[in-house]
Amino acid sequence: MAENHDRASEPVLYELRAARKRYGSGDTLVHAVAGIDLRIERGEFVVVAGPSGSGKTTLLQLLGALDRPSGGDVLFEGRSLAAMSDAELAGLRRTTLGFIFQQFNLIPTLTAQQNVEVALAPGELRAPDRRQRARDLLGRVGLGARAGHLPSQLSGGEQQRVAIARALANEPRVLLADEPTGNLDSATGDEVLALLRSLNEEDGISVVLVTHDPSSADSAKRLVRIRDGLLLGPAEVVPVTAA
């Protein structure tokens, strides 16, 4: 359902126009995203909430240029992601987007510092600069003392903070978080959400967070509900006042 808002003067980060994504064919055809119109502005903290199987992860993957829409279009800063090549999408992901996953997705054989460095590896930073930046980022998320530990030696919350540091490695304009607190206890989850809020408020990084947990919506400046591949609710997104 289309949104109605008068924000034409503000820079648009994302614009989805009847975006669709389907999987399979025939009897197994699934419309994960069934036609979504959505605008996300720069600097927003948007929470996309919905039950399991509602299409929220698929929506995030479309926003993150991890997948191409089956129909409609996904525009990032005015550019159609469907028209970009795989190499261009990879470059976009590296330089502009940061990803945070529910299962952290750290490389198990690399240390915390090396997991942050892995995001910097395709770039042109010299090795000493790369290592220093990784240590700085780990310090920023409160893990400076744990740089040399393997993921198996870190708690869930610590692993997620390493993942956040990795996501910040290339100074992204957008952080895309897929159920970042899904594998964490509530206290740790709150810490992670607080970190994301501070990144949004202090650094101006746009955040799009998908979750099935309604309590995560408290972090949002804007809440979008999704079910069966479609956005729910009234035409206007209901802004949520931060607690």
Partner 1 sequence: MFYLSYIACELRRRKGRTLLTALGLGVGVGLVVTVTALSNGLDRAQRKVLAPLTGVGTDVSVTRPLKVNAGGAGFAGPGAGLSASERKQLEQENGGARIGLQNLGKPGAKFQQTNFVTLTQLSFPATTIGDVKALAGVADVAGGLTITALTVSGTVPKSTQPQGPPGAGATGGPPRNINFDQLSLAGVDPTHPTLAAISPGQIVKGSYLTAGVTRQAVLNISYARRKGLAVGDKLELKGRTFTIVGIAKTPIGGQASDAYLELDQLQRLSGRAGRVNVLYVRARRADAVGSVQESIERSVAGSSVTTSKDLADRVGGSLVDAKNLSSKLGTALAIAGLIAAFAIACLLTLSSVTKRIRELGTLKAIGWPQRLVVRQVTGESLAQGALGGIAGAVIGVAGAAVITAIGPTLKASVAAAASPVAAGPGPGAGPLGGSFGQGAVTSGSALVKLDAPVDVGLILLAVGLALLGGLLAGAVGGLRAARLRPADALRHIG
In angstroms, what is the minimal distance from the CB of 61 to partner 1?
Answer: 5
Residues 67, 86 contacting (CB under 8 angstroms): no
In angstroms, what is the minimal distance from the CB of 240 to partner 1?
Answer: 28
132 belongs to the binding site for partner 1 (CB under 8 A): no
Residue 41, beta-bridge partner list: 12
Both structure tokens of 54: 């509602």
93 belongs to the binding site for partner 1 (CB under 8 A): yes
Nearer to partner 1, 8 or 87 (CB): 87
Using the Cα atoms of residue 49, residue 54, residue 59 and residue 60 in order, give the sign of their dihedral: positive
151 belongs to the binding site for partner 1 (CB under 8 A): no
Query: CA 16, 65, 5: angle at the middle one, nearest 5?
Result: 20
Segment contacting partner 1 (CB under 8 A): 8-16, 101-109, 141-149, 191-199? 101-109
202 belongs to the binding site for partner 1 (CB under 8 A): no
Q: Total residues at the site for partner 1 (CB under 8 A)?
A: 36
- In the three-class reduction of DSSP (H, G, I as helix; E, B as strand; rest coil), residue 151 is classed as helix
In angstroms, what is the minimal distance from the CB of 206 to partner 1?
Answer: 17
Residues 31, 130, 146, 173: which binds partner 1 (CB under 8 A)?
130
Nearer to partner 1, 162 or 237 (CB): 162
In angstroms, what is the minimal distance from the CB of 11 to partner 1?
Answer: 23
175 belongs to the binding site for partner 1 (CB under 8 A): no
117 belongs to the binding site for partner 1 (CB under 8 A): yes
Whole-angstrom CA distances from 53 to 45, 57, 128, 226 are: 22, 8, 44, 10
148 belongs to the binding site for partner 1 (CB under 8 A): no
Residues 146, 161, 166, 173: which binds partner 1 (CB under 8 A)?
166
Query: Are β-strands 45-49 and 230-231 bridged in parallel, bridged antiparallel, or unpaired?
Result: unpaired
Residues 161, 143 contacting (CB under 8 angstroms): yes
Whole-angstrom CA distances from 223 to 138, 202, 209 are: 30, 20, 10
Considering only residues 27 through 86, tell me which ones interact with partner 1, judged by CB under 8 A. Answer: 58, 61, 64, 66-67, 86
Residue 231 CA to residue 2 CA, distance in Å, equals 9
Residue 56 CA to residue 144 CA, distance in Å, equals 33
Residues in contact with partner 1 by the rule CB under 8 A: 58, 61, 64, 66-67, 86-87, 90-95, 97-99, 101, 103, 105, 107-110, 114, 117-122, 127, 130, 150, 166-167, 170
